[in-house]
Structure 1
Amino acid sequence: MELSISISLFSVLIASFSLIHSITSSRRSNRNSIDISKNELRSNSLIAFSQASEKYIEEIHFIDNRFTEITNELVEKSTGLIDEIGNTLEEYCFIEKNKVDLKYSLLKLVKEIREYYDHELLYQYGLNLNFRLNHLRYINSEYFKITNKYFKFINNFFFRNNIESPEEHIMSSPIINWNYELIYNSIDKKDYKSILIDIYKKIEPFKETYKKNLITIEDLKRRMEQLVSENKYEIFDIMEIPNLRKLQTHLDLIHSFYINDFEIKENYKIVNAISFIIYLSTYLYIVSDYKMWGKYQTEVIS
């Protein structure tokens, strides 16, 4: 009897142990299933993220590489043009060569202007910078002697604070003032048309290169805008990719940063060719210095 009871108790104990083991195993199995599901979900999410980001990264790489090729070509075509323009000024200079160095004066003047615009090259739109740089075409002998409301308007419109604009710095710069006056007083007005024609011949290859690449730049700009638009529905922000915003800004700037031309007509009286030469030289120098945009960090505009 006692044996039967012991066996019965043992059987109950075994059954209970089996039940507990079964429940525990079931729970463990469920936990494992949940963990596996979580891991699969995490893995699938990472795969989806990777595939989505890869699509954007490949497109961005393409845009960046193609744009780099174009900017390298523009830099190559614009490099050295300041020297050629300076040589042309020297040819038309009616003052003794050992008394003035117009080539050096032009370079000094243009470098000074370039430095004042350095900060702008980090974030400004092309049309904005084009409009503001265009004021160089209207420099004259009185330019540095007056308090011009135009520059106050520029400053208030674009900055809306007490920071002096590049235009105001240019207007008050003794280096720019002195070198402008030197060049202006060294060229005979009767030679204005001839000197501009000669300079235009020298910069024509650059203008053709820019024109040739403009359609491609427009396409790259459109593709970048499309990427940003499509990214609104993704699980990550492509603007977090290093230097992407810089690429986007420079695409827009180069796309809209062109030479404001004018036709040299037979009977057209050119009032001041020197101001236009300074504008052309500054534009070409900024383009040739593309790889240094935003790296001058000049104190006056930082």
Structure 2
Amino acid sequence: MATKAAQRARIATETGFIAALDQSGGSTPKALSQYGVEPSDYSGDAEMFAAVHAMRTRIITADAFTSDKVLGAILFERTMDGEIGGKPTAQVLWEDRGVVPFLKIDKGLAEEANGVQLLNPMPELGALLAKANAAGIFGTKERSLIHSANADGIAAVVAQQFDVARQVIAAGLVPIVEPEVNIHSDTKAEAEEMLNTEILKHLDTLEDGQDVILKLSIPSKPGLYDAAADHARVVRVVALSGGYSTDEACALLAQNHKMIASFSRALAEGLNVKMTDAEFGAALVGNIDKIYSASAA
């Protein structure tokens, strides 16, 4: 419990950001391509996931990836199950780097209905949460997607997210509730207003000890989620980059003083498998410094 308390305090109060290293399934080839590893470079899922694990390992073991600026890291299940230098990944993060480990638990998105995509069913959630606990994971992440300002759809997304969050909390983990709003939506600002209302409503139904982290698209109206950030049941509000470039995401995040980053694509922007370690380290330092500064604003 002392470890959990230290991890919670780190996420709740310290300056820095959460790295999202949890690309999976359909997003893995895109992440690898960004890194300079094309589909022709691997054959089948096993080689693909080995390539992405090597990429994540290179990031995690880089000199720049330390607790000085990185508070936490979200892992894909295969990454959690894997090892770095013969040691389980989550242990490397916390014991060697001082970085709090999280786990992506969702199984992708359902087909769009009412302008949103709900979480796919997770029939083995209980077993996965038990495995996460055994691996030393602190919290989880589950992502839904909102495409338009549809009140019924947004209400359904938030209700489902908080239902899953309660299951995660009951298992002794801290959930990252992630109802992403598509940054290309024509009704992004309106959808975010609806989302904020629903989130505040559901936060008020949580009891003492039922605490969550919110992961949200950077809002069109700066400061929109300040009330949520101040809510007693919210550990932290973090922002996803959502397809913005690193510079765009950081500039927008800096306008939201009660949000910190949890970037994926923006963190890995410009990194390439063919870089020397020195080149890779320099590029990663640049991204980490930008993201840290925006999170500290």
What TM-score, normalized to structure 1? 0.23
Larger radius of gyration: 1
Higher relative contact order (CA 8 A, sep 6+): 1
Which one has a larger percent strand, Structure 1 or Structure 2?
2
